[in-house]
Structure 1
């Protein structure tokens, strides 16, 4: 081919890409990326930048990796920030950082800020490597593109319209059994559920629990697909959040790990241990108020841990349920009275049942009806108080603007110990005449 012919072909390619970027994108998506990259590398950046805004993200990312570094840098600087974010989302953290380092400092800072989504948002939970296809693409073309892209773990292909907005979805198992000449439009299903990229985690949880879908598409403000939240990823995030909550409930830092330095662990735990010591002295002071009662009836000292232990367990159950409700946004601080009433009623019913069993055991052991009456009544009162505390403590912390998980169990233990000791020894003092 002569030099003039080569120039003519380049001109035609440039004109086609510039004037019909959507049609060109559809053609490029069906071609091997290596061949396309050779053609695009010969074109000026202003001519091919619009094309990358129309391409499926995985195709655009693959093409960018084939292009010379100067061309790739120019493209990233010429594209809109939103299109650049979607494209960079297809790479690993290390690859993404290498492309960012190629850019001007101000643009790099802007993109890095935009890539950081709020904590506990859909943007933090989503996976950005998704299969984006055109409705008019044939099944055979889609399968070929899947083989080239080597995307793993896909359950769904997402289809976008001519404005690059999410329009439909195709299940992988439907794709596998479809005729090769069928179009994706023919086997697609409408997308009925989406979440915004800034949606809070509790909203994503609610959507997944209602729909039971394996993944939920995440869109930006223009309706473009930016990622998916997979059910497995959400479960993992909830497990991590729950483990962090368990640590903070007992006064350990969320940041502490099993192999953290001793100095770090001591610094994070020591303040709460000191607080726990003060609350332990408070419970001990309650016992000290009834020293004479214990001295007269030594059996009370033996039974005291039984009441405290049962009320502590009941309080922990109420606390766990309330904490879960707050974490999943099933309840808010405005539901405090309803939650408290439920837990107090539960504590009363369980208290009566436990009191009957405990009373029978105490009578067989001691033969004293007076001791049975003391432990039965105090058990009911202590478990009611435990239910009240387990429901109110996290809600109270939430209303005060504090983390409801932060050392809730330390406060709860103090309340249940004091309530259990005071009710048991107080009633024993009142009924001393029959002991």
Structure 2
């Protein structure tokens, strides 16, 4: 032990806590600067022309189970008026069929009933391939999840991205949830999306919202070559890049609302996402794995170290400094990228502290629950339903 100038002993724990604080804030600041630079170079969020939006086919695979489903579907019909919509509903999903019937006929809207996907085939991709088959080569296919709202200007950014790259993908952001468990999911996405997707060259896409010219998608074989991949976003990104294509990560948000009613639902959702993250890392070269681990895996552990060190030494200063700096940096990112603050301090902190547990759960538990389906996952292209 050494002594400070005032004569107090400076314990090794205190020094380590201070170093962890500085490391956390340095990493967060570095990611913030890099993300904001990338955002400034991203395609602008602009209103697309009438002619451009008329060539967009909005394809939405629909599953019931979320109370906000009907509102989300209606909102997209209004905000993306002029585009052609194709809603893909399972034959055995009576509730989803009732939802789309309540919305009723709308201009340029087609509802398709889809048979169950065979075992070992990704049910989302199985729905998308027939929809692609009926598109014209000069159209743009926009894949949009059923709980996702895409502003018209964000669609303009995606179309601008297609002038630069083969595929353009959106940036997810969550609207405030009604339950504490929804707030934890919301803060996990809102505090990580911009700092994850923007700083690095794309290694995958945001599967909730992406667009591609139909001719380019057909040139890589459509969805047929990747039907047996569980993670559709990683599979699409890989198919594009293997054929020499490029991905444009836009910095314009789409807004997501997902109902998370219980702790069990929250754990299942986070487990699925973390298992998919493990599958992503398996496909990356060592250098990329190391970069992702440093940029996105160290933060929660440093936060735990600062919290434990502050409690043990009874010196709250490092923790207060970390939380204050973290709040400022997240505010800067949110206001610049999303146009408003999305930060909820307590759920945000709890969400980050829980990340190591969720990552470990995803690494060891290979069975996932995906809405109405349960799968045993052995690898990205080797999974089977659990009955």
Q: Do the structures match in fold with TM over 0.5?
A: no
Computing the radius of gyration from Cα coordinates, the structure with the larger value is 1
Q: TM-score, structure 2 length as denominator?
A: 0.24
Name the structure where helix makes up a greater proportion of residues.
Answer: 1
Q: TM-score, structure 1 length as denominator?
A: 0.22
Name the structure where strand makes up a greater proportion of residues.
Answer: 2
Bigger relative contact order (CA 8 A; separation at least 6): 2
